[in-house]
Structure 1
Amino acid sequence: MTRLRILHLSDTHILRSGELHLGTTDTRAHLASALAHLQGIGSLDAVVVSGDCSDDGSRDSYEFLSAQVGGFAAAHGATPVYVVGNHDDRAGFTAVLGDGVGGVVQAADAPVDALASITGHTFAVLDTQVPGRDYGQLDEARVRVLAGAVVAAGAPVVLTLHHPPVPSASRITHVLELVNPGALQPLLATGLVRVILAGHYHHQLSSSFGGVPVHVAPGVANVVDPSAGYPAHVTRPIWGAQVVTVRDESVDVMAIQAGSDGPANALSDDLMQRIAAGSGPADWLERWKDPAP
Structure 2
Amino acid sequence: MSILHLTDLHLLADRALHHGLVPTSDHLERVLEDASRGRRCRAIVVSGDVSADGSVSSYQFARDAVGELAKAWSAPVVWAAGESDNRAAMRSVFKLPGSGMQPIEYYADIGELRIIVADTTVLGSTWGKIGNRIVGLKQALSCPRELPAGERKTMLVLHHPLAPPPTLKYAASALDDAPAVAQMLSKLEAKPEVVLCGHYRVGMMAVAAGIPVIVGPAVSGETSLDRGPSWDTATIRASYGIINLSDSHVDATSTPVSVENEGAEVYSFPPAEASKTTQANSRPSWSVETGLRWCGQGSEHLS
Determine if the TM-score, normalized by the shorter chain, exceeds 0.5.
yes
Partner of residue 41 from structure 1, selected from 12, 26, 38: 38
**Residue 283 of structure 2 corresponds to which residue in structure 1?**
281
The Cα of 1:8 is off from its aligned counterpart by: 0.6
The Cα of 1:151 is off from its aligned counterpart by: 2.6
The Cα of 1:187 is off from its aligned counterpart by: 4.3
Assess, with a 3 A threshold, how the Cα gap between structure 1 residues 91 and 226 changes in structure 2: closer, same or farther. same
Q: Which amino acid aligns with 1:263?
A: A
Q: Which amino acid aligns with 1:281?
A: R
Partner of residue 62 from structure 1, selected from 49, 54, 59: 59
**Residue 148 of structure 1 corresponds to which residue in structure 2?**
139
Partner of residue 169 from structure 2, selected from 169, 172, 190: 172
**Residue 198 of structure 1 corresponds to which residue in structure 2?**
197
> Is 1:159 paired with 2:156?
yes
5+ residue gaps in structure 1? none
Q: Which amino acid aligns with 1:162?
A: H
Query: How far apart, in 2, do the equivalents of 1:239 and 1:220 lie?
Result: 4
Which secondary structure state, in structure 2, belongs to the residue aligned with residue 234 of structure 1? strand
**Residue 301 of structure 2 corresponds to which residue in structure 1?**
none
Query: How far apart, in 2, do the equivalents of 1:89 and 1:288 lie?
Result: 33
Partner of residue 24 from structure 1, selected from 21, 24, 32: 21
Assess, with a 3 A threshold, how the Cα gap between structure 1 residues 110 and 256 changes in structure 2: closer, same or farther. same
Query: How far apart, in 1, do the equivalents of 2:95 and 2:144 lie?
Result: 21
The Cα of 1:183 is off from its aligned counterpart by: 2.9
Query: How far apart, in 2, do the equivalents of 1:288 and 1:264 lie?
Result: 29
Q: Which amino acid aligns with 1:54?
A: S
Query: How far apart, in 2, do the equivalents of 1:200 and 1:158 lie?
Result: 18
**Residue 112 of structure 1 corresponds to which residue in structure 2?**
104
Assess, with a 3 A threshold, how the Cα gap between structure 1 residues 209 and 292 changes in structure 2: closer, same or farther. closer
Partner of residue 124 from structure 1, selected from 116, 125, 140: 116
Task: Judge which range, 30-39 or 203-212, deviates more.
Answer: 30-39
Length, aligned pairs only: 283
Tell whether the 8 Å contact from 2:221 to 2:235 is kept in structure 1 after alignment: yes
Query: How far apart, in 1, do the equivalents of 2:159 and 2:222 lie?
Result: 16
Please give the TM-score of this superposition, normalised by the length of structure 1. Answer: 0.90
Query: How far apart, in 2, do the equivalents of 1:190 and 1:98 lie?
Result: 32
**Residue 265 of structure 2 corresponds to which residue in structure 1?**
264
> What do the CA deviations read for 1:36-63 (whole angstroms, capped 9, x no partner)?
1211112111111100011111100111
What value does the CA root-mean-square deviation take over the aligned residues?
1.9
Assess, with a 3 A threshold, how the Cα gap between structure 1 residues 278 and 16 changes in structure 2: closer, same or farther. farther
Which secondary structure state, in structure 2, belongs to the residue aligned with residue 215 of structure 1? strand
> Is 1:137 paired with 2:140?
no
> What do the CA deviations read for 1:184-219 (whole angstroms, capped 9, x no partner)?
243451423100000000001100000000000011
Query: How far apart, in 1, do the equivalents of 2:83 and 2:159 lie?
Result: 8
Q: Which amino acid aligns with 2:91?
A: T
Tell whether the 8 Å contact from 2:87 to 2:104 is kept in structure 1 after alignment: yes
Query: How far apart, in 1, do the equivalents of 2:202 and 2:112 lie?
Result: 30
Q: Which amino acid aligns with 1:275?
A: T
Query: How far apart, in 2, do the equivalents of 1:271 and 1:89 lie?
Result: 29
Query: How far apart, in 2, do the equivalents of 1:19 and 1:237 lie?
Result: 15
Tell whether the 8 Å contact from 2:11 to 2:51 is kept in structure 1 after alignment: yes
**Residue 186 of structure 1 corresponds to which residue in structure 2?**
184
**Residue 149 of structure 2 corresponds to which residue in structure 1?**
none
Q: Which amino acid aligns with 1:151?
A: S
